[in-house]
Amino acid sequence: MATRGSGGGVRLATHTPDAKVGEIVRHTENCDLLECFDLPTNTCAIARCCGLRGVLYLARKVFFGVLDAVPLKELVTNPQQLRQVFEAKRETSSAVV
């Protein structure tokens, strides 16, 4: 679905315009906000009595609820302009080498 771009961005497969933004973020980013979100590697001494984890779980759920409602194609309002920006960046990068 996606590969890391040379400049830190993400290059998506061409068949993804209907993909939801939340799906893309889940596949390309580490969404564990705290160490304790990853239970197998959690070493937090206060995890059992800390209230922050529950609040941040809820915040992450709401965050992805919003992103899951937005298809990628709604964010790309001018594909030609995006192509021009990326081509200009690619030309600048290759000229520097």
Q: Residue 88: what pLDDT?
A: 84
The tens digit of pLDDT for each residue in 42-72 reads 899 998 899 998 899 899 999 999 999 999 8
- Give the whole-angstrom CA distance, residue 85 versus residue 82: 5
Q: Residue 96 has what pLDDT?
A: 57
Nearest to 71 by CA among 1, 2, 16, 7: 16
CB 27 within 8 A of CB 41: no
Would you say residue 97 has pLDDT above 60? no
Residue spans of the domains in the chain: they are 17-96
* pTM listed for this prediction: 0.66
pLDDT of 4 above 70: no
Q: Is the pLDDT of residue 12 over 80?
A: no
Where does the pLDDT of residue 92 fall: very low under 50, low under 70, confident under 90, or very high at 90 and above?
A: confident
**Count, residues in the chain:** 97
Q: What are phi and psi of 83, to 5 degrees?
A: -60, -40
Averaged pLDDT of the chain: 83
